[in-house]
Amino acid sequence: MYSAAMGTNDTSERLVGAARELLWERGYVGTSPKAVQRAAGAGQGSMYHHFSGKRDLALAAIRRTAEEMDATAGAALDGGGTPYERIRAYLLREREVLRGCPVGRLTMDPEVIADPELRAPVEEVLGRLRARLAAVVREGPESGGPNGPPDPEEIAATIVATVQGGYVLARATGSPAPFDSAVRGLLALLAPLAPPPAR
């Protein structure tokens, strides 16, 4: 009984993993049930045993992608170090830049965006990311220009927009250089969040 349950769970995991990869690569329309079954090494019966159809499987895959993004961001932003160091760790973490962001890719998919249930995990994880970044910014020194300290929510939105825009520029040029350049520029702008050097 134990091994049978494990086999069932393993098939479900393979289907979700295959759907995640295909959604990232091809989008919702380009991800057919047959392609998922082939990639997962699972039969049609297995797929429909675990999921009611393509949309149900896609929702599980999107939720898993969102969970992974949440965990990865949390590992950098909830760790030790100054606010600047944690944001720097988040920006400089290893990414498959030329593949783009798996969550950002979903925001450009009309079928995902048009479906409130499929869109919800995407919207929620990006909202949590902005909130987490804003919380880290609030911990930093309150330095700023003539208009006072920067607004944490605006800084958080700028960080997310820079990362997502960096992916687009990198994919458009076929090189990670624009992404790296955008990150370096953003870190220079965020330098006021760094603590002053010890005297």
Q: Is the model's pLDDT at 146 over the cut of 50?
A: no
**pLDDT of the residue at 1:** 29
Residue, of 100 and 199, whose pLDDT is higher: 100
- pTM for this entry: 0.85
Q: Is the model's pLDDT at 5 over the cut of 90?
A: no
| Average pLDDT value over all residues in the chain | 89
* 49 located within any domain: yes
Has residue 87 been placed in a domain? yes
CATH of the domain at 45: 1.10.357.10
Q: What CA–CA distance (Å, rounded) separates 90 from 94?
A: 9
Return the exposure string of 99-112: e unless at least 16 CB atoms fall within 10 Å of the residue's CB, then b. ebbbbbbbeebeeb
Calculate Rg over the CA atoms of the chain: 20
Residue 44 lies inside a defined structural domain of this protein: yes
Q: Is residue 199 part of a domain?
A: no
Number of structural domains the chain divides into: 1
pLDDT of residue 123: 97
Domain-embedded: residue 198: no
* Within-domain flag for 168: yes
Q: What average pLDDT score do residues 82-103 get?
A: 95
Q: What is the mean pLDDT of residues 119-129?
A: 97
Domain enclosing residue 140, as ranges: 2-193
pLDDT band, residue 6 (cuts 50/70/90): very low
Q: Is residue 183 part of a domain?
A: yes
